[in-house]
Copies of this chain bind each other. A is one copy, B any other.
């Protein structure tokens, strides 16, 4: 029986211990892209029963440090996590409902990383957030006709 789910392999390759909470958290992030911490906790508990929020926070921190998940946190929003890492993509955030979608940058790779770095900073990552309105919110906020 190949209980070696992809998540388990990912954990091992990152030299992290394989525990049920960790596998469940990683699966949850894979299943629900852009989920916030509360959603992840719910998802994990639905799978394992009781898991402390503390464990989830700790796991998410460990996964983030090891590059297995990426943490994104638009202004006025709680932290969200996604499993697509390494791929250089960005996000659209709806001002209405806060939903997030992935977008690839039109520029290609390493978008805008060639900023005119006036201030001597060593830039290693460019994070782009597009603000706008999702189709659903656009429809419900345009009753004007």
B-binding residues in A (CB < 8 A) = 71-73, 75-76, 79, 90, 92, 94, 101-107, 111-135, 138
Task: Report Cα–Cα, A124/B112, bound state, in Å.
Answer: 18
A102 neighbours in B (Cβ, 8 Å): 118
A76 neighbours in B (Cβ, 8 Å): 73
Q: Is A134's CB under 8 angstroms from B119's CB?
A: yes
- Residue in B75, B111, B118 whose CB lies within 8 Å of A112: B111
Task: Report Cα–Cα, A117/B135, bound state, in Å.
Answer: 11
A134 neighbours in B (Cβ, 8 Å): 119-121
- Offer 14 A-B interface pairs, CB within 8 angstroms, sorted by A: A75-B79, A92-B123, A101-B119, A103-B119, A105-B112, A106-B112, A115-B130, A122-B138, A124-B131, A125-B130, A125-B131, A127-B128, A127-B130, A127-B131
Task: Report Cα–Cα, A72/B5, bound state, in Å.
Answer: 40
Closest 9 CB pairs of A and B: A123-B132, A120-B135, A73-B75, A101-B119, A125-B131, A92-B121, A127-B129, A121-B132, A123-B130
A72 neighbours in B (Cβ, 8 Å): 75
A127 neighbours in B (Cβ, 8 Å): 128-131
Q: Is A121's CB under 8 angstroms from B94's CB?
A: yes
Task: Report Cα–Cα, A76/B79, bound state, in Å.
Answer: 9
